[in-house]
Amino acid sequence: MRLVSAFILALSLVETPTFSAEKIAKLLPAETNVEKNKNVKVAVTPVAIGAEATVKAVCSACHGADGNSIITLNPKLAGQHPEYLLKQLTNFKAGTRANAVMAGMVANLSPQEMQDLAAYFANQKPALAKAKSNGVGSLGEKIYRGGIAATGVPACAGCHGANGAGIPKQFPRMSAQHADYTLAQLRTFRTGERANAPMMMAIAAKMTDAEMQAVADYLQGLR
């Protein structure tokens, strides 16, 4: 049971532009194309008792028993789309999302166990948060809703939605996510350390640290 584990430094950010679904599909290579994930069905209820026990025994230390992590470098998993959570676990297991800790944690997880964990966290209620300084009219809001025309950065809202709820089976929920985690993921996309979302890698490559910090802060307070 100890090997059936949690999500440390896990899951978050992914695909983000204002392109049409057709253009998005063309931008992604065949092995990561979102169309492949549309056929993956994750049962949100009922959640296996084993998954709940695993969460309480192992995952809760980093992500909280209800998926609302207190450590800001660890993502909130509560209310996240189960298909997205399952994809990240699968990527950790396959090595397409590099993370030494998570690779070890998921090594012995079965497909059903990963589905159960994804369903458990999807069922939890995400805790709301506040931005530190990027509210209405801020740089963070401008980037999230309008992108950065000068450098070709598309509006985040195009894929993650006006309120950050994301699009099930395609793009993750980002509202109320820890700014520290979001910023860290944007940076790993830019460096190529995280390479399981080619579209986000291309977008992050065009962003400065200040722009990343602003949009990450804005997302933390989005609801």
pLDDT of 6-30, one tens digit each?
433 344 444 444 444 444 444 444 3
Q: Give the pLDDT of residue 50.
A: 77
Q: Give the pLDDT of residue 57.
A: 73
**158 confidence band (pLDDT: 50, 70, 90):** very high
For residue 118, is it within any domain? yes
Q: Give the pLDDT of residue 74.
A: 96
**40 confidence band (pLDDT: 50, 70, 90):** low
Asked whether residue 85 carries a pLDDT value surpassing 80, the answer given is: yes
For residue 88, is it within any domain? yes
In a 3-state reduction of DSSP, which class is residue 153?
A: strand
Specify the CATH number for the domain of residue 79.
1.10.760.10
| First-to-last C-alpha distance (Å) of the chain | 35
For residue 56, is it within any domain? yes
Q: Which of 39, 79, 87, 86 is nearest to 173 (CA)?
A: 79
Segment 60-82 mean pLDDT: 95
How crowded is residue 17: how many other Cβ atoms within 10 Å of its Cβ?
23
Entry pTM: 0.80
The more confident residue out of 38 and 143 is 143
For residue 48, is it within any domain? yes
For residue 102, is it within any domain? yes
**34 confidence band (pLDDT: 50, 70, 90):** very low
Q: Give the pLDDT of residue 150.
A: 98
Buried (b) or exposed (e) across 160-193, using 16+ Cβ within 10 A? Answer: bbeebbbbebbbbbbbbbbbbbbbbbbbbbbeee
For residue 11, is it within any domain? no
| Number of separate domains in the chain | 1
Segment 30-47 mean pLDDT: 48
Asked whether residue 106 carries a pLDDT value surpassing 90, the answer given is: no
Q: Of 15-29, 79-93, 127-141, 183-197, which gets the smallest average pLDDT?
A: 15-29
For residue 115, is it within any domain? yes
Q: Give the pLDDT of residue 24.
A: 42
pLDDT winner (highest mean) among 11-25, 90-104, 140-154 = 140-154
Q: Give the pLDDT of residue 42.
A: 56
Q: Where are the alpha helices (DSSP H) in the chain?
A: 21-27, 34-37, 49-54, 60-63, 82-94, 100-106, 111-122, 139-146, 157-160, 179-191, 198-204, 209-221
Domain assignment of residue 82, given as a range? 36-122
Q: Give the pLDDT of residue 193.
A: 97
For residue 145, is it within any domain? no
